[in-house]
Structure 1
Amino acid sequence: MTGTYDLLVVGGGINGAGIARDAAGRGLSVLLVEQRDLASATSSSSTKLIHGGLRYLEHYEFRLVREALQEREVLLAAAPHIIWPLTFVLPHHRGLRPKWMLRAGLFLYDHLAKRKRLPGSRAVSFNGTPEGQPLKSDFEGGFSYSDCWVDDARLVVLNAQDAKARGADIRTRTRCASLVRHHDHWNAELIGPDGAPQSVSAKSVVNAAGPWVTEMVENAGLGKKAAGLRLVKGSHIVVPRIHDHDHCYIFQNGDGRIAFAIPYQQDYTLIGTTDVAYNGDPAQVKISDQEIDYLLDLVNGYLAKPLGRKNVVWDYSGVRPLYDDKNDNASAVTRDYVFDLDTGDTGSSSPILSIYGGKITTYRKLAEHAMQKLAPVLGNDAKDWTANAILPGGDMPDGDFDAFLAKAKATYDWLPRALLYRLVRSYGTAISKIIGTATSLGDLGPEVAPNLYEAELHYLMANEWVCRAEDVLWRRTKLGLGMQPDQVDAIEKWFAAQTRLDRAAQ
């Protein structure tokens, strides 16, 4: 299989998908390749927040925080079904940061960028309040402020969907095995899902391979040392829900770090994250016993009912591909993004842009900046366009999720409430593509696993590059929590049957 493109994007995480979308919207021909599933590494292993990064103020990352706070508003408007406001409660710990410092930091957080949708910070008392209910009695008060939640893996998929709708070619489970530069283009050898080699050419390359970014620089044979990459592992644990209200907590620790405790999938609380230097294979990253103990000890310093290992129902880890700024403290390494643009020898018009670092919150701005760097080389003068563009499923009147949910309840009154809520939260207005003309649960096909009907699986295969149970259970949804092995097996058998049917039809 051959093809010629303006831009080859290597990496199907949030940065790669965001750049593919932006470039396709500028009229460029784009191919994105991802060696596994979309968002299969770092981009599905975050703390699930669209936030400015309150603690980054201590490291004087004012530009990054300001940009992230601005993007918080942009993304909330673009995808109200998978991004929504959260209130964070910050208990004051007498032995750690003093009140004046917390108040000053929150004042900056409130005013570094304009807020249209989210309330500012305020002081709170815990005496007899729901916010104080899960905490030890010696925590009398603190502060609250606003940030946003995001379904990180779905954000990647929505960007890939929009890129495809604008003409991009998205190929998952396709590895870029080698890159060869010529005067005015690149040749790329790809290995497809069936193991067969594919050859394509592109005028330019974006290396958004995340933890594999330096490996791609070496594959490109640029004849220079790759920019410094710092791999930092971040791990999370999930426990049964620790409180009844919808607020989150941000807990300080004596080592200067913080941890979040966030309501998760209705019945759980997500706790994270750690910052640990990592030197292994990014595809094999796992939480350590020390990290589990660290997170439990940290939150138990605040909770009236302590948590133990027996309470941990799930965990996950990801590797952050940060730019190495030579900071000895893994927690203090910059989260800002850094570009390495290589235009080759004099006269060459075949650039490669490698991306280091970045936060999920600033992915759209990163993509915009990446295209601004590449546009002159590609001769593309299209204007920036993504700041006011809605992502698939987010086209609700006035961006009002609650109003759309109420309408969906009336339209699909035969759907169980929990299933309807999950579908609207996951797919937004695209729920109509899943439901189609169905007027009963029976019309959705067999229930392949609890709350997972065949109609949704067909939609995911046709529209979201899904081909395995794990794609559904841990990235397109989080139904894997609580799913039994025999139920997972039933989903795998369903996909195997679909593959046989597809082959027979060919």
Structure 2
Amino acid sequence: MTSERDAMLSRLAGGSVDVLVVGGGINGAVAAAALAGHGVQVALVDRADFASGVSSHSSNLAWGGIKYLESGEWRLVRKLCLSRNRLMDAFPSTVREIRFFTSIQRGFRMWSVLVWLGALLYWLMGNCRMSAPRFLRRKTIIAEAPVINASEVVGGLEYSDCYLFDNDSRFVFNFIRRAMDAGATAANYTEVTALEFSSDQQHWQVSLRDCEANRDLQLTAKVVINATGPNVDRLNATVGVDTEHHHLLSKGVHLIVDRVTPLAKVLTFFASDGRLFFVIPMGPKTCIGTTDTQVARAEVSVSNEDRDFVLANANALLELPEPLTRDDIIAERVGVRPLAIAGADTSRDWVQLSRKHQLEIDDDRHFISIFGGKLTDCLNVGEELVAAVSQLGVITRSPEQRWYGEPDATDRRRFLERAQHLALDELTEDGVSEPLSLRFWRRYGNYANELLDTIGEHPDKAKLVIPEAEYTHAELELMSRREMIVHFDDFLRRRSKIALVVPGRSLRKESTLRGAARLLFGDSAAAKLAEYLEG
């Protein structure tokens, strides 16, 4: 049977599209979803897996940028708060409110009451959409969050923002899935090897390489969107596109450890270098970080210096039974934040730069570059790109339905009624964090009905595949059909967060993964499993 990826590559070969999107991170994903939703013939390619770069290494937060109040970027904060509110409304199962429990230490650059007043302003700028902030006295912090080392704490505050219930890369993929459902063509592990603009024919001649089969493809596109994140400048230089904006890159590192507190709130501090430091609940685990280090290239890794910085701050800020060490690290997340700057001057105080996005349009060559951006602002990016593509002469039409968000309430009600009729939730295994019906709907939307079909015929397929990971046999069969999983990491690290919560020593066992390999890869299971275990 031809895989969905093979079918997509066949559509690309020798084809012609209105818009080619290069890069499958959050900016590329919303570009494809928005354009496809507006009737544009769009193709998206990524030289690696979808969301394998910056978009799979975030803090998993969708926040309005409270820290930008200090630098006076009030308009940006207002915009981000409203964008966060839209995400909450559009993705109620995925983007959820969470409380941030912030402590202020003696000697901080502002009185704690002033920080609380800033949080009050932040709440107002978000139209009071979330729970109101509250001022925290030292004794309140000690009583409510005993895990915090309060020896130097003078006060604090609690306010609300949002987090992603699953993970960032799954959120990104669901935009790509939505784009494909609206008619877009998308292929991972497909690299752009050459771009040449024909001024006579007013289109781009595109050379592609299927990195898995090592074969070349040709495509024409009226417009090209450079959504390669931290590699935007590199692709622009290759093509010869000059832009006013460029990127500075900041490396961020998060470490995943066993849960340090049952408190279901984001503990927020200011690290030893004065920057924000988070302790983020992640089910049975905790995510701690981040770092903020300027780097010259997008290819980064976690150094021992990074690990020691994060661990030292966690140990200093928390009251733990035993100090965290490198041996406690279950998984690591490292990526670069692309920060947009105007001009070639890189001597600015880059730590003060925000994540706001900038679009640059080359009208003569029909080429659009996306600089900066963050997940919170993704819907605005998509809508601005529709307007930009229309400006370049591509015909767009008003969508028959919204191009983003979960299926509507009627679809959800029908799914839950079917699930109840099948007694689906009674099949939820002991120790699992939530009923199957809620989890299936959040992850797969209307595709969750296919899971009901499968489990209705074979109830045993509601059983978990991997111990410690909440994924069933039926889900892996669905993901194999619908989610273009080419390598094990695509599943373990991006379509799911299994690699972030299951210790590597447990995960990298043939006995643990053999069943998952068979479900995901069929006849190629042995080879794919060996590739992962040897990698």
Task: Classify the TM-score, shorter chain.
Answer: 0.7 to 0.9
Residues 16 and 366 (structure 1 numbering): CA distance in 2 closer, same or farther, change over 3 Å?
Answer: same
Distance 1:404 1:147 in 2: 32
- CA–CA separation in structure 1 for the residues paired with 2:274 and 2:417: 42
Q: Alpha-carbon deviations, 1:211-254, whole Å to 9, x = none? A: 221222133234x4774221211110111111112111111134
The residue aligned with 1:154 is: 170
> How much has 1:32 moved relative to structure 2?
0.6
How many equivalent residue pairs?
487
Q: Which residue of 1 aligns with 2:508?
A: 485
Q: Does 1:110 align with 2:110?
A: no
SS at match of 2:311: helix
CA distance in 1, matches of 2:424, 2:272: 52
Does 2:217 match 1:198? yes
Cα distance in structure 2, aligned partners of 1:430 and 1:319: 33
Amino acid across the alignment from 2:360: D
1:316-355 matched pairs, under 5 angstroms: 316-324=333-341, 326=346, 328-344=348-364, 350-355=365-370
Q: Is the 8 A contact 1:49 1:148 kept in 2?
A: yes
2:250 alignment partner AA: V
Relative to structure 1, the CA distance from residue 309 to residue 440 in structure 2 (aligned partners, 3 Å threshold; closer, same or farther) is farther
1:485 corresponds to which letter in structure 2? R
Task: State the Cα distance separating 1:431 from its structure 2 match.
Answer: 2.8
Q: 1:243 aligns with which of 254, 261, 264?
A: 261
Return the TM-score normalized by structure 1.
0.88
> Which position in structure 1 is the counterpart of 2:530?
none
More off after superposition, 95-104 vs 432-441: 432-441
Q: Which residue of 2 aligns with 1:380?
A: 395
Taking the aligned partners of 1:410 and 1:489, their CA distance within structure 2 comes to 29
Contact 2:207–2:218, Cα closer than 8 Å, also in 1: yes
Q: Is the 8 A contact 2:358 2:370 kept in 1?
A: yes
Residue of structure 2 in register with 1:347 after alignment: none
Q: Any stretches of 5+ residues in structure 1 without a counterpart?
A: 345-349, 502-506
Distance 1:244 1:213, change over 3 A: same
Q: 2:332 aligns with which of 315, 319, 332?
A: 315
The correspondence for 2:148, drawn from 135, 145, 149, is 135
Contact 1:11 1:32 in 2 (8 A): yes
Q: Note if contact 2:259-2:285 (Cα within 8 Å) is conserved in structure 1.
A: yes
In structure 2, do the counterparts of structure 1 residues 108 and 39 end up closer, same or farther at CA, with 3 Å as the change threshold?
same
CA distance in 2, matches of 1:19, 1:33: 12
Partner of 1:269: 286
Aligned pair partner of 1:216 in 214, 226, 235: 235
CA distance 1:428–1:225, change in 2 (3 Å): closer
RMSD between aligned residues = 2.9
| Native 8 Å contact 2:38 2:398 kept in 1 | yes
Mapping of residues 41-440 of structure 1, within 5 Å:
41-96=53-108, 97-116=110-129, 118-125=130-137, 127=139, 131-138=144-151, 139=153, 141-150=155-164, 151-183=167-199, 184-192=202-210, 193-222=212-241, 224=242, 227-264=245-282, 266-280=283-297, 282=298, 284-305=299-320, 306-324=323-341, 326=346, 328-344=348-364, 350-380=365-395, 382-383=397-398, 390-392=404-406, 394-396=407-409, 411-416=424-429, 418=432, 420=436, 422-428=439-445, 430-439=447-456
Partner secondary structure for residue 427 of structure 2:
coil
User: Could you tell me which amino acid in structure 2 is paired with residue 74 of structure 1?
Assistant: R
Tell me the distance in 2 between the aligned counterparts of 1:318 and 1:385: 37
**Aligned-partner Cα distance in 1 for 2:74–2:418:** 37
The C-alpha deviation readout for 1:50-70, integer Å capped at 9, x for no partner, is 101111111222222111110
CA contact (8 A) 1:126 1:140 kept: yes
Q: Please give the alpha-carbon distance, in whole angstroms, between the structure 2 residues aligned to 1:408 and 1:66.
A: 45
Aligned to 1:59, the other structure's residue is in SS state coil
Question: In the aligned structure 1, how far is the partner of 2:47 from the partner of 2:448?
Answer: 29
1:177·1:219 contact (CA, 8 Å) conserved in 2? no
| Counterparts of 1:109 and 1:390, CA distance in 2 | 26
TM-score (ref. length: structure 2) = 0.83
Match of 2:522 in 1: 497
Q: Which secondary structure state, in structure 2, belongs to the residue aligned with residue 239 of structure 1?
A: strand
Per-residue CA deviations over 1:396-422 (Å, capped at 9, x if unaligned) read 46999xx99996995431221517265
Question: Counterparts of 1:199 and 1:51 in 2: how far apart (Å)?
Answer: 40
Consecutive unaligned residues in structure 2, runs of 5 or more = 1-12, 527-535
- Structure 1 residues 148 and 385: alpha-carbon distance in aligned structure 2, compared to 1, 3 A threshold: farther
Counterpart-to-counterpart distance in 2, 1:106 and 1:21: 34
Q: CA deviation at 1:309?
A: 2.6
Query: Is it true that 1:458 corresponds to 2:477 in the alignment?
Result: yes
Q: Which amino acid aligns with 1:444?
A: K
Identity of paired residues, percent? Answer: 28
Change beyond 3 A, Cα 1:499–1:391: farther
Partner of 2:492: 473
